[in-house]
Each structure stands twice: as C-alpha cells, then as structure tokens.
Amino acid sequence: MSRRNSKRLVIDACISFESIDRKFNPMGSNPGDLSRKCLDAVREENHIAVFNRLLRREWRDHASRYATEWLRGMDRKNLTADVGGEEFSILLEAACGCLAHQAHRAALAKDFHLVQSALASGQTILSNEVEFPRFVANACSAVPELAWLYYANRRLEGDACRLWIKAGAEKEANRRIDRWAETHLKSNP
C-alpha cells in the first residue's frame, strides 16, 4: 500500500504486550502469533501508528522485545505520529457518567487516552480489550463524538483483523465502535 493510502491507527499497548518473543509461528493462531501478525501487517502496509505520551509509556513498560524493535523500526521509517488529543479530554466525564458501576468508570478513564488520540487522528483503535469497546459504545448516545470511533480487535476477530489491516484498514460501517460492540460482544457479556 502506498503511504498516501495508509491509515492512522491507535495501537493499544496490550497488542505490544501480547506479541510474545517465544517461537513465533507465522501460521499460528495463538494470541502472541496473532498480535505479532497484526503489528507486521501495520508495518507492511505503511499504516501510521498513533501514540500519545501515556500510550508510549505503556508500550515502553509492557512491550515484548519484538514489539520494542517493531516500534523502533516504525519510528525510523517515520510511520509513527504523536497525537495527544487533549481537546477531547472534556468528553471523559460525560462518557463515564453513562456507566452504572464505579469499576467500569475507572476502567474507561484508564484507557480514555486511546479515545482522545483516536478522535484527534484517524479515529481507529486496534486493541485486544473486550470491555473497553463496550464501555465506549454505552456512552455513544450521550457523547455523540464517540460514535466517530472505529474499532478492531485481534482477540475476538482472529486473523480477520490482520486481513482487514492488510486490505487498507478502512472505516467500514460494521467497525464503528457501537456497531462493532453490538456485533462482537452480544454473546460475550
């Protein structure tokens, strides 16, 4: 893919953590193999990995050796962007107000930096989190800006996630975070 067609993706640190270093199997379907193949697809297609200060720190603290090298290579190729999205921090209170349990509000607040960077850049988040998209989807009716987000999840989608990245990581209607959560999480309460 040409750089002109590349997408900006906020890549959660859980992807870097799960891209394990032990015996990588390019045909494998275990979590480490799938996470690593997603990172490889991002690099191969010249997508831009979007970070903010907190996300870079999470990567530094939790990344596997492979993910650390992957990020260095992405930085060398100018395939990273630092986008904080601080202007979207004002949405946090209203988004958390939609959640009934304090633990859910705390979990959303902990990862809200992903939302901020995504809203300020390409609006797409790549993660392995399962509860996070549910919390964001629950808040979409009260905070309409959250419905601008698109989501991909290697854990629930398996190799389909990598194939979507390879095909251009387009913002398809079924990837809008509220629709994605409705489709992928209805059987996973």
Work out the pLDDT band at 3, boundaries 50, 70, 90: low
Question: Is domain 3-85+113-130+145-175 given the CATH code 3.40.462 in the classification?
Answer: no
User: pLDDT tens digits for 78-119?
Assistant: 999 999 999 999 999 999 999 999 999 999 999 999 999 999
**Nearest by Cα to 62 from 20, 108, 106, 107:** 20
Domain boundaries, the chain: 3-85+113-130+145-175
At residue 134, does pLDDT exceed 60?
yes
User: pLDDT tens digits for 34-56?
Assistant: 888 999 999 999 999 999 999 99
Residues 78, 47: contact at Cβ < 8 Å?
no
For range 113-139, the mean pLDDT: 96
Look at residue 85 in the predicted model and tell me its pLDDT: 95
Look at residue 188 in the predicted model and tell me its pLDDT: 43
State the pTM of this model.
Answer: 0.92
Mean pLDDT, rounded, of the chain: 90
At residue 29, does pLDDT exceed 80?
no
Q: Could you tell me what percent of the chain has a pLDDT over 70? A: 89
